[in-house]
Homo-oligomer: A and B are copies of this chain.
């Protein structure tokens, strides 16, 4: 079964170029390695209506999973939970379990700094525990804003914080194990040939032939410039169960392609 994921990154700072997003690349890489098919990444601004509308567009495409990043913090411009509530058409309410999580992180923070004062549950801290009704908090091992688990019928949405370390910690603890179970036996395999002495245009008929002869193997060439010389990475990938022997199939396809490339004057510089 193909398991689809959409990634939705929320934050003005990403769209003005202030912050170079690394979360989408992290999630795309990890999900792909777990055998999940990442359909789409969308980056939008901190606007409640925009968040709600975009989530509903994602849900309409019926991926099994949506992961959002950003907008869960204490400040006024953290609007992801309001956006989810609007998409679900349900109110926001303080979630007791989430409030306990926020409190615990604050206490840990104070203890680490030997602060004597009582931790105050300020409005901005309570905000992080104010979730759309019917959603569940997800433990954030590193920060005060919990993740949120939302059920949209056939689609499960996880809202994660934008701070990369926190997002990665929640993904590793609560999402990756779930992806593994849902994906079942599917794995993603890849193999690369590094080639010079031929241009991408020359390779077209050779790649076509190898893809025709090796059903299920996807071949893509990536031009890489190296001191002005044409230099290509030919990337072969396959998503399949182990029983379908993807590693062997990729090795066979890469070998066939290497023979064709060398016969037409190219050189295989490396293989990995």
Contact = CB atoms under 8 A, between A and B. Distances in A.
A39 B207 CA distance: 37
Interface residues of A, number: 59
Given A40-B44, A122-B201, A165-B225, A16 B188 contact: yes
Contacts of A124: 200-201, 204
A125 B77 CA distance: 48
A19 B222 contact: yes
Interface in A37-88: 38-45, 57, 73-77
B41 A43 contact: yes
Contact of A16 (B18, B21, B32, B74): B32
Nearest to A29: B17
B18 A235 contact: yes
A190 B221 CA distance: 40
A223 interface: yes
A200 B16 contact: no
Contacts of A32: 15-17
A241 interface: no
A40 B28 contact: no
Interface of A: 12-21, 24-26, 28-30, 32-33, 38-45, 57, 73-77, 112, 122-125, 144, 163, 165, 188, 190, 200-204, 207-208, 211, 218, 220-223, 225, 228, 235, 237
Given A40-B42, A75-B207, 17 more contacts: A13-B222, A14-B28, A15-B32, A16-B38, A17-B28, A17-B29, A17-B30, A18-B190, A41-B41, A42-B43, A74-B204, A76-B208, A76-B211, A112-B228, A122-B201, A124-B204, A163-B223
